[in-house]
Structure 1
Amino acid sequence: MQNFTALERRAAISLALVFAFRMLGLFMLIPVFAIYGKDLIGFSPLWIGLAIGAYGLTQAILQIPMGWMSDRIGRTPVMLLGLTLFAVGSVVAALADSVYGVTIGRILQGMGAISGAVLALAADVTREEQRPKVMAVIGATIGLSFAVSMIAGPAIAAAGGLSAIFWFTAALALAGIVIVLTIVPKTQHQAIDSEALARPGFIAELFRHPQLRLLNLGVLVLHLLLTAIFVVLPSQLQTNGLAAPEHWQVYLPVFVAAFVLMVPLMILSMRRQQEKGYFLFAIGLLIVSLLLMINGGLWPSAIALLLFFTGFNYLEASMPALVSRIAPAGQKGTAMGIYASLQFFGAFLGGVLGGIISGQFGAASVFALAGGIGLIWLFLARRMQVPQRAQRLSYLVGDVDDAAAKTLVSQLSSLNGVLEATVVVNEQRCYLKVSSTGFDPKQVEALLSRHS
């Protein structure tokens, strides 16, 4: 966190913790519910999937609206509301004696969709040149939370049963509330920043963007595959002689090794400027791993998990960066909001699909279908185009109307090194994507001074 101010450092750490606590609570059910939920009233393969994926539906629906609400009533109230809903949902699930009650609790957990408010607050309190670093710190907690949840979930469930998972999740939510009240920076002024928060006027346009559409479909499929296989995988490991409390013995080495293998893939893809090729290779790893899981043996399953999470980690890390690079200037917040919504919707679809298929045709059919979906994704992803790397900047432009904004966009776009320019009139701000070479900020400043 070099070059951060004390405020930026505090914001990065506290908001990352809030983000991590929420994601950890959502993920911990994934590796244990198929085993520890068998004593619940109404337990069935379909309801396994619904309970695991239910949070994704409400997250997908409320992700963008909760961000908009934070513009109206403030970031802190929205975060407190979201964490309170998350805590209530956890308590409802902990007290439930039926799979239906657990599913209702998961739906309530998903209603605490605070990602937009967290990222917007990070934008409010950070300098523009440090903002990408702060966002990266917060974003990295997603992958870390998932890895920890896959190990902590089985350990907590083995010690206290399924309800212990939800009581622990409720405690995490309360800890998040304490952090928001005591450590997270408070802001009286909320920066209007379309690069951080979704804006209604851009949604339809970005849904039609061909390259963003491919990435949105990709993250939906990625989380569909993840949730679908964990509807059946824990039971498969148990069938192969690995008791539920011992599942961490597979998950821990797999996650460590997958992370170690993912890092050189990231480095090589950037160094060789072959990001598309490595992207397709990672999807290929997913497909091979899913086909290996059909075998059902313990060692094939462990090897398959290693391949799956090597590919998963690479894609999970690279796709948000590609969305950020492809999104038009001034529309990154909306693009990331759509991306996050489809990510969670994929988790919901995966749970439902995994539950239906496993109930009708068995575990092997889930892996086979998942592999087929992966093949379709691989075919479609060949059309992906990786853009050149660019820096994103924003400037205040003063009082401009629509006509003046159109003229200003044309003039900005003609400057050397400016790849894209957008002027958002109601924010009185222009957003630029600029190349790493040939761009002179003094030209922009001189142009804007003539319009002020």
Structure 2
Amino acid sequence: MNYLSLIMAIRFLGLFIVLPLLAVYALKLQGASDTTIGIALGAYALSQMFLQVWFGKLSDKYGRKHIIAIGLIILALGSIVCAVSDNIWMLIFGRILQGAGAIGGVVLAYLNDLATEETRGKIFARMGQFIALSFAIAMVAGPILGAKYGVPFLFDITAGLAILAIILLYFKVPSAPEVEHFEESAKISEVIKNRELLKVYFSGFMQKGMMTIIFMITPLIFVNELGWEKMDLWKVYVPALVFGIFAMPFGAIMAEKKGKGKLVFILSAILMTSSVIAFLVHFYITGVVLFFIGFNMLEPILQSFTGKIARIHEKATAMSLGNSIQYSGIFLGGLIAGIVKQYFGYSALFYLILAIGILWIGSLFTMKEFKGFEIKEFSEFDDKMIEKLKNDENVYDLFIKEEILIVKYKR
């Protein structure tokens, strides 16, 4: 499972490493404007948004490994297109192609396949730590390597990392155990009826949308407005990320061990929304720090809570749908930020985000505290017992994993 988390981190490293400089680099391409720069930043999320669920369904049918490998190949091809782009529209096409390898939900479903109910929280927390580490590396390496060798070189690195991830996938990641459930394949219409899942999804949407906006405006403010050198941007991102890394285990412990998941969601939303207030009063570094603390507190429990709330036959669909919604946040965040900044300026953009952030915080106060389940395992069972359990109103979910009947009772 560590190798699967490593693959996820490698994939994100490739996507993260261009973020610190992409807005400044894209501004110099033919046809660039604030709006098209915002589109370029979020373009990979457009294809992710539409293809996540389909990749999830394909992985249910053909197996996780092969579908993940196909997605990584597409990421490599898209990165090569970005590297050779000489105008903004070719860069946008390359970013869309990068995102067409929409395997995030598949990897998360794979992790769920390998996890037990007891280890799921720890596994997703570890994955979050891997991703945070890749983020830290990207924030240092991106500005330095990009300033020295150019942003196209960073896209070449992304392509190489995708190939490395494929090698690890086939040589180090174990096959998932077979799981038998007793329901028809999940439908999206059924998944979105779960109100608690919708609140988790909206939090992911806001978190990723604000991330795109932060990565668009921060380099533009520091380089174009304050006169910083591009290679010095790591001095902003890395200290902020250090605070974020320390916040990550706090969020995981509070949510997973203390049963205070609702509090973590609310605190994260308050911190990320407060970062906008800091930008409004020109405390830019403080704003970046507040954002990363809130972002990293929320990141590991987003996927964990989706995996816990969704029933076994819904997991791949629920994970993929959650990722689609998060990627829609990335795309719309970049698009809206570009349009609002171009036509109305920074202040209008900050006030808009602040208003939406307040609505987000308000919605989280209506969230129910997740109480978990009482889990029982049976090594001996028959069809009559299964049928009785299926009709028991106290049973939330039941399935067979490695010849053991696992029953999750409501608390």
Q: CA deviation at 1:40?
A: 0.9
Distance in 2, Cα, partners of 1:151 & 1:41: 28
Q: Does 1:67 align with 2:56?
A: yes
Residues 396 and 173 of structure 1: is their aligned pair in 2 closer, same or farther, counting only changes over 3 Å? farther
Per the alignment, residue 86 of structure 2 pairs with: 97
Distance 2:202 2:56 in 1: 22
Tell me which residue corresponds to 1:258.
Answer: 244
Higher RCO (CA 8 Å, separation ≥ 6 residues): 2
Q: Does 1:421 align with 2:392?
A: no
- Which residue in 1 is equivalent to 2:137? 148
1:284 aligns with 2:284: no
Greater alpha carbon shift after TM alignment, 341-350 vs 30-39: 30-39
Alignment of 1:410 onto 2:391: yes
Distance 1:386 1:160 in 2: 49
User: Do the aligned partners of residues 429 and 364 (structure 1) sit closer, same or farther apart at CA in structure 2, a change above 3 Å counting?
Assistant: farther
Matched to 2:219, the amino acid is: P
- Paired with 1:148 and 1:163, the residues of 2 have a C-alpha distance of 18
Residues 152, 328 of structure 1: alpha-carbon distance in 2 compared, 3 angstrom cutoff: same
- Identical aligned pairs, as a percentage? 32
In structure 1, the partner of 2:11 is: 22
Aligned partners of 2:275 and 2:290 also within 8 Å: yes
Spell out, residue by residue over 1:130-158, the C-alpha distance to the aligned partner (whole angstroms, 9 max, x if none): 56654554454333333332332222211
2:286 aligned with 1:303: yes
Following TM superposition, by how much is the alpha carbon of 1:271 offset from its aligned partner in structure 2, in angstroms? 7.0
- Give the corresponding residue for 1:368: 351
Moved more, 112-121 or 224-233: 112-121
The one-letter code sitting in structure 1 at the alignment partner of 2:278 is L
**Aligned amino acid, residue 17 of structure 1:** L
**1:250 is aligned with what amino acid?**
V
Output aligned runs, 1:184-203, within 5 Å.
184-185=173-174, 187=175, 191-192=178-179, 200-203=185-188
Q: State the shift of 1:396 in Å.
A: 8.7
**Does the C-alpha gap of structure 1 residues 325 and 160 become closer, same or farther in structure 2, counting only changes over 3 Å?**
same
Contact kept, 8 Å, 1:23 with 1:142, in 2: the verdict is yes
Q: CA-to-partner distance for each residue in 1:335-379, whole Å, 9 max, x for gaps?
A: 222212211111111111111111111223222211111011111
Residues 161 and 199 (structure 1), Cα distance of their counterparts in 2 relative to 1, 3 Å cut: farther
Rounded to whole Å, the distance in 2 between the matches of 1:133 and 1:89 is 33
Is the CA contact 2:124–2:301 (under 8 Å) kept in the aligned structure 1?
Answer: no
Partners of 1:295 and 1:85 lie apart in 2 by: 42
- Unmatched 5+ stretches in structure 2: none
The answer to whether the 8 A contact 1:397-1:428 is kept is no
User: In the TM superposition, what are the counterparts of 1:382-393 in structure 2 within 5 Å?
Assistant: 382-390=365-373
Equivalent residue letter for 2:94: G
Partners of 1:38 and 1:54 in 2: CA distance: 15
Return the alpha-carbon distance in structure 1 between the equivalents of residues 127 and 301 of structure 2.
Answer: 15
Kindly indicate whether the alpha-carbon contact (under 8 Å) linking 1:324 and 1:332 is maintained by their aligned counterparts in 2. Answer: yes
Which residue is 1:217 aligned to?
202
Query: More displaced, 300-309 or 386-395?
Result: 386-395
2:305 to 297, 318, 322: 322
Q: What is the CA deviation profile of residues 395-432 of structure 1, one whole-angstrom value per residue up to 9, with x for unaligned ones?
A: 799885xx996543124x55xxxx523469xx999653
Structure 1 segment 162-177 matched on structure 2, within 5 A: 162-177=151-166
Match of 1:441 in 2: none
Q: Say which is worse superposed, 18-27 or 199-208, in terms of deviation.
A: 199-208
* Distance change >3 Å, CA 387–CA 26, structure 1 → 2: same
Q: Pick one of 143, 152, 157 that aligns with 2:146.
A: 157
How far apart, in 2, do the equivalents of 1:279 and 1:132 lie?
A: 16
Specify the code of the residue in structure 2 equivalent to 1:378. I
Counterpart of 1:349 in structure 2: which amino acid? L
For residues 45 and 194 of structure 1, what CA distance do their matches in structure 2 show? 49
The AA in structure 2 aligned to 1:173 is A
- Alpha carbons 2:255, 2:261 under 8 Å: kept: yes
Distance 2:155 2:10 in 1: 13
Whole-angstrom distance in 2 between the partners of 1:268 and 1:138: 17
1:34 has 2:10 as partner: no
Q: Which amino acid aligns with 1:288?
A: S
Looking at CA atoms only, which structure, 1 or 2, has the larger radius of gyration? 1
Q: Distance in 1 between matches of 2:373 and 2:86?
A: 53
Q: CA deviation at 1:383?
A: 0.6
After superposition, the C-alpha distances for 1:81-128 in whole angstroms (9 at most, x for unaligned) are 111111100000000001111111111111112234434544666677
Give the secondary structure class of the aligned counterpart of 2:31: coil
Match of 1:8 in 2: none
380 and 101 in structure 1: CA distance in 2 versus 1, 3 angstrom threshold: same
Structure 2 contact 81–94 (Cα < 8 Å) conserved: yes
Aligned partners of 2:186 and 2:317 also within 8 Å = no
Of 389-398 and 38-47, deviating more is 389-398
Corresponding residue of 2:40: 51
Q: Residue type of the partner of 2:300?
A: A
Does the CA contact (< 8 Å) of 2:34 and 2:338 recur in 1?
A: yes
Work out whether residues 41 and 98 of structure 1, in 8 Å CA contact, stay in contact via their aligned partners in 2: yes
Q: Using the alignment, how far apart are the partners of 1:377 and 1:354 within structure 2?
A: 18
How far the C-alpha of 1:237 sits from its partner, in A, is 1.2
CA distance in 2, matches of 1:268, 1:201: 31
Partners of 1:405 and 1:264 in 2: CA distance: 39
Query: What is the TM-score with the length of structure 1 in the denominator?
Result: 0.80
Contact 1:60 1:342 in 2 (8 A): yes
What are the ranges of 5 or more consecutive residues in structure 1 without an aligned counterpart?
1-11, 437-452
Q: State the shift of 1:435 in Å.
A: 7.0
CA distance 1:179–1:372, change in 2 (3 Å): same
Compared with structure 1, are the counterparts of its residues 428 and 359 closer, same or farther at alpha carbon in structure 2 (3 Å cutoff)? farther
Q: Distance in 2 between matches of 1:328 and 1:126?
A: 14
